[in-house]
Structure 1
Amino acid sequence: MAVRDVAEAYRTVPLHPSQWPAAVVRVSDDLFVVDTCAAFGAAPSGGVFGSVADAGCDIFRAEGMGPLSKWVDDHVFFRVLRSELDSANTTRQGWHNHIREKGVHHHGSRRWFGGHVLLDNEPFDMFEDCSFSLQDLSHSSPRSPEDSRYCYNMDDINRVSTTLGIPWQSSKDIQFSSSAPYFGFIWDLSDCTVALSPEKASKYKEAIETWESRRRHTLLEIQQLYGKLLHASLVIPSGRSRLVGLELAIALAHSRPFASRFPPRSVAGELVWWHQRLSQPRISRSIRIPSSVIDIQAYSDASTGFGIGICVGERWRAWHLLPKWRTRDGAKDIGWAEAVGFYLLVSHVSSCLPPATHFRVFCDNEGVVGGWRNGRSRNTATNTVFRLTLDLLENRGFDGCAHCSYVPTARNPADGPSRGVYPASSLILPPIPIPDCLQAFIAD
């Protein structure tokens, strides 16, 4: 992969003369100048440059280069070994056929291609429709033995960009390599990992320390810290559940954005966790798409009037909800009970499989299914159980390996045990450890 940055990107887009009256700048008492290019910071400029950059990417693809993408003016180019070209094009043709069948998707201002759901419940989401085949351009100009192994090189990119008038900021070029920084992360294609750079981790730790030096904060200060940690959570998925305090702080501060406010009490504990995670010597995660997800028919369910049940195949186990579970140590609802059932099920399944095995479990509560997919719940009690589950999986070597799917209650075999309707006692599962923090609420 290689990374290139367009020099003064917005300045490459001239304004139509009809737009000049809105771009007059007064520089002295009697001197006015016209800014004839798209202005950095102007609301329409991002979309204007985006249209130009999207067209540029398509022209590169039509010339046989790629895969490639861009984020504003930062372009990332991937290249394929010549020996793998036929295989890559066969794969791309299959993707193109699928995309052509499913069409283009829009989510807000974002356009993407895909349609079906992958094994890990994530959407098949692509930034191009794969309509252009990759080509072997290795004979188009002299090149090094290493470059000759691949379908194209920087000279091929320059040949097209020079014709189009795209000026690269050469000092920021990242030459083709198996590892490169992009979007604030270090991408390693040989190890299939993405990492937060030490510089970013240090910067985010300093932001936490600056926050902790003051007791009150404005909306802008909350948003700035939240944005940094949200970015880091792309590499530290378990951190998503440790941002709900800042999200609440943002909601509370919107009515008076310039007033300094005390943040919710939960923020302090969340930031202690974040500071510890950002202090680790290496912060990374796998970007491999699982080739298989084990389905051992594992289900969980909860009933407010009785308790929690799980089923794995024909086997089962159940727990009573203890009196006052709804009100002890904070308000709780059925979503919390369903999340506890999910935790107990994940605890059992992960104890039966080798570490790093991707597995699927089923639940009939959409709040739990959707919340787990998002990495957090807005419900404080449910979110606490999600944190417990995330920590359990990480400690056992299953980080990112538990995938939750929805099942209707009528098809959920755990519905009976959750209501006290038990299968044969000979099929009961072995005891599952109940964490100390849950022992006041459920009993085996």
Structure 2
Amino acid sequence: DSDAPWSPQTLLRRARRLDPEGWSRALRNHGLLGQYHQIVPALREGISIGIQPPIRTYIAAHHLSATSNAAEVERIIAKELELGRYSGPHEIDEVRRIVGPHFQTSPLGLRPKPNGKFRPIQDFSHDPKPNRDTPDTSINAQLHPDEWPTTWNSFRDMCAAILRHPRTAQAFVRDVVSAFRQIPMHPSQWAGTVVEWNGAFYVDLFLAFGLGPACGVYGLFADAFADIVRAEGLATTAHWVDDNVFIRVLQRDLPRVNIKRKLLLKTITGGPQRRGGRLFWTSTDGVEHTEDYAQPLKSQPGAEDGYNCSLADIDRISAQLGWPWEPEKDSPWSTTFKYAGIVYNIATREVALPESKREKYLATIAETREQAAAQGGRHQLPVIEKLHGQCQWARNVYTEGKWHLAGLQAFIKTASQDRKLRHQWRHGGKKLADDIDRWERTFRCQDNTWRSFDPATPVDIDCYCGGSTSFGVGLSIQGRERAYPLRDDAVGITDIKTVEALALELAVRTAIELGYSDRPLLVHTDNTAVLGAFKKGRMAAAGPDEVLRRVAVHETRARLTIHLRWVDTKSQRADPPSRGLISSNLPRLPIPSMDAELGQWFRPSW
């Protein structure tokens, strides 16, 4: 009976907020029903993500984070019951009547959230030892996240989107309420999502945080919502899990913005592509995009203040679909907005790290230091992994930080080799200590650093640098040259990558000596190893890596952005002076100031 209290339809209908009929109308009206054919059936009957019926019943023990916070777990369970997303509490026989003869629970854990609350985690990767009384695999071992590709608007994507809009554009940021928990699970999946607590059982009816494909499954709905917004012509929209941005423009700017979108559409090569769990479109220049730009922006019924839309227009579409927002997290229309942990300024084309993130990252460093102090200077993998992820993200603002990740990465690589030793305490060495020190100084800086992401064309000052192990370094800048011979005891035995890195350092220092600052500069090199290492922020060999780190310091102090361009050896104007062949009729470049670290490599130059 579909109306029985334990029937799947009754259980799902009780808690479902997304409206299948509203989605059906919207997708059909905009010709999207074929592209998103899974959505309406999933909302009516629940979505299947590949969980197989267990062949035995297994009840897992919970993690310490849950058992030591029992009151919090009970509060979360009570909330899920109130919202209808859990069915229960049940005796074991009732569970079997709902989900089938066998079921498998996963350990519960709690993860602290920035607001002081906790996010419940079901550890679906928990792998019980196979024996005749337990299942053979974890729930996640059965699942394939890459089968659920979705678009993710990264930092680079957001910067590119802003640059396609006039500086007068405004953004509105909204958070989806309990994003994953809006997606109902098909009854065939429930046997793998049962929750046990204190001997009572609860059937989790909705998509749970911790399931391998959860991001992609939710992303299916988020992508569909974004495409409906685009089809309405409401705004440029982007999302990162539950963070959603809507960018509106002045009515007078609509033609100009739409011309840009039309030109971009012409460059898109074919339909969406997928790589791993990511969905994207590629343009003829090889750039990846999170939409195809097929839909123009339009003036909306709620247009206000000279702009093409208003919050009322977002609410109109959301209400039709049952798409739930958290109003207390709304960030109203502004040229400055926070998205996925970065503050963006549309008007100035700049980004900054929010104060809350800076404090959070400093707290992680403090935790790292406290643990090391208590363990004789040793560190543990989980906290170093957390710090590395935070520093990687902060690098979007503090670009010179790319040179201060190698120590963290080396520790992670070594400590990750044996999963059984993940929690072993181990020393990290000087590089790790230096990285942590550098990032702490960076995060303690109180100047509210803003970085421009507007890619101004680099100034070509006709700067070429080159090196040879048989002689040394040569520079050619604006028709002037200088040769820097290596010390006799370094000739022929110094790694060419070190010599080429020294050439780049001398080129940058000489450009600064010539008065260049506060701008992007183009430097030509024929060494692909230096070019690649400078771009990604590390060189495997310690010698040239140390030199390139110094280059990054000079770059930052002079507020330069160095762009390296490869040039073949035949066109390399610094090649002759790098071999000691100076043109007698060309003027000489000035000698920049050199500290001992640089000067120790060379004999007098000419």
Per the TM alignment, residue 69 of structure 1 is displaced from its structure 2 partner at its CA by 0.5
Per the TM alignment, residue 98 of structure 1 is displaced from its structure 2 partner at its CA by 1.7
Per the TM alignment, residue 114 of structure 1 is displaced from its structure 2 partner at its CA by 4.5
Per the TM alignment, residue 332 of structure 1 is displaced from its structure 2 partner at its CA by 6.2
DSSP-derived class of the 1:4 partner: strand
Corresponding position of 2:569: 409
> Would the aligned equivalents of 2:513 and 2:590 in 1 still touch at CA under 8 Å?
no
Per the TM alignment, residue 324 of structure 1 is displaced from its structure 2 partner at its CA by 4.4
1:49 and 2:218 correspond: yes
Deviates more, 1:48-57 or 1:429-438: 429-438
Per the TM alignment, residue 405 of structure 1 is displaced from its structure 2 partner at its CA by 1.4
Residue identity opposite 2:381 in structure 1: L
Match of 1:153 among 287, 310, 334: 310
Corresponding position of 1:16: 186
Residue identity opposite 2:277 in structure 1: S
Deviates more, 1:386-395 or 1:50-59: 386-395
Provide the rounded CA distance (Å) in 1 between the counterparts of 2:379 and 2:205.
Answer: 40
Q: Could you tell me the TM-score, scaled by structure 2's length?
A: 0.66
Q: Residues 436 and 14 from structure 1, CA distance in 2 versus in 1: closer, same or farther, beyond 3 angstroms?
A: same
Superposed CA offset, 1:254-293 (max 9, x none): 2331210011212222322222221222343333423422
> Would the aligned equivalents of 1:235 and 1:283 in 2 still touch at CA under 8 Å?
no
Match of 1:2 among 153, 157, 172: 172
1:184 and 2:341 correspond: yes
Corresponding position of 2:229: 60
Please report the RMSD computed on the Cα atoms of aligned residues, expressed in angstroms. 2.4
Superposed CA offset, 1:47-78 (max 9, x none): 11111111111111111022111001111111
Residue identity opposite 1:173 in structure 2: D
Corresponding position of 1:348: 510
Corresponding position of 1:136: 299
Corresponding position of 1:266: 431
Per the TM alignment, residue 421 of structure 1 is displaced from its structure 2 partner at its CA by 2.5
Provide the rounded CA distance (Å) in 2 between the counterparts of 1:109 and 1:341.
Answer: 41
Provide the rounded CA distance (Å) in 1 between the counterparts of 2:279 and 2:579.
Answer: 45
Provide the rounded CA distance (Å) in 1 between the counterparts of 2:539 and 2:313.
Answer: 48
DSSP-derived class of the 1:404 partner: strand
Q: Residues 162 and 212 from structure 1, CA distance in 2 versus in 1: closer, same or farther, beyond 3 angstroms?
A: same
Deviates more, 1:353-362 or 1:167-176: 353-362
DSSP-derived class of the 1:148 partner: coil
1:279 and 2:460 correspond: no
Q: Could you tell me the TM-score, scaled by structure 1's length?
A: 0.89
Q: Residues 291 and 270 from structure 1, CA distance in 2 versus in 1: closer, same or farther, beyond 3 angstroms?
A: closer
DSSP-derived class of the 1:426 partner: coil
Higher Cα Rg: structure 1 or 2? 2
Residue identity opposite 1:172 in structure 2: K
Per the TM alignment, residue 304 of structure 1 is displaced from its structure 2 partner at its CA by 1.4
Per the TM alignment, residue 198 of structure 1 is displaced from its structure 2 partner at its CA by 1.9
Corresponding position of 1:321: 486
Per the TM alignment, residue 226 of structure 1 is displaced from its structure 2 partner at its CA by 1.3
Match of 1:233 among 375, 395, 419: 395
> Would the aligned equivalents of 1:307 and 1:320 in 2 still touch at CA under 8 Å?
yes
Per the TM alignment, residue 22 of structure 1 is displaced from its structure 2 partner at its CA by 2.4
- Name which structure has the greater RCO, CA cutoff 8 Å, separation 6+: 1
Provide the rounded CA distance (Å) in 2 between the counterparts of 1:368 and 1:231.
Answer: 24
Deviates more, 1:381-390 or 1:351-360: 351-360
Per the TM alignment, residue 165 of structure 1 is displaced from its structure 2 partner at its CA by 2.0
Provide the rounded CA distance (Å) in 1 between the counterparts of 2:192 and 2:378.
Answer: 40
Provide the rounded CA distance (Å) in 2 between the counterparts of 1:200 and 1:237.
Answer: 16
DSSP-derived class of the 1:25 partner: strand
Corresponding position of 2:459: 294
DSSP-derived class of the 2:248 partner: coil
1:196 and 2:379 correspond: no
Deviates more, 1:295-304 or 1:40-49: 295-304
Provide the rounded CA distance (Å) in 2 between the counterparts of 1:109 and 1:368.
Answer: 32
Residue identity opposite 1:7 in structure 2: V
Residue identity opposite 1:230 in structure 2: Q
> Would the aligned equivalents of 2:461 and 2:477 in 1 still touch at CA under 8 Å?
yes
Equivalenced residue count is: 426
> Would the aligned equivalents of 2:464 and 2:475 in 1 still touch at CA under 8 Å?
yes
Superposed CA offset, 1:370-402 (max 9, x none): 12222333332222222211221222222xx21
Provide the rounded CA distance (Å) in 2 between the counterparts of 1:291 and 1:89.
Answer: 23
Provide the rounded CA distance (Å) in 2 between the counterparts of 1:216 and 1:404.
Answer: 39
Corresponding position of 1:112: 280
Per the TM alignment, residue 430 of structure 1 is displaced from its structure 2 partner at its CA by 2.2
Superposition map of 1:382-397 within 5 A? 382-397=544-559
Match of 1:253 among 402, 415, 420: 415
Deviates more, 1:371-380 or 1:225-234: 371-380
Match of 2:579 among 396, 419, 429: 419
Unmatched 5+ residue regions in structure 1?
118-122
Corresponding position of 1:120: none
Per the TM alignment, residue 172 of structure 1 is displaced from its structure 2 partner at its CA by 0.9
Provide the rounded CA distance (Å) in 1 between the counterparts of 2:590 and 2:273.
Answer: 46
Superposition map of 1:200-211 within 5 A? 200-211=357-368
Per the TM alignment, residue 161 of structure 1 is displaced from its structure 2 partner at its CA by 1.4
> Would the aligned equivalents of 1:104 and 1:111 in 2 still touch at CA under 8 Å?
yes
DSSP-derived class of the 1:390 partner: helix
Corresponding position of 1:367: 529
Provide the rounded CA distance (Å) in 2 between the counterparts of 1:14 and 1:129.
Answer: 29
Provide the rounded CA distance (Å) in 1 between the counterparts of 2:451 and 2:273.
Answer: 27
> Would the aligned equivalents of 1:79 and 1:152 in 2 still touch at CA under 8 Å?
yes
Deviates more, 1:302-311 or 1:315-324: 315-324
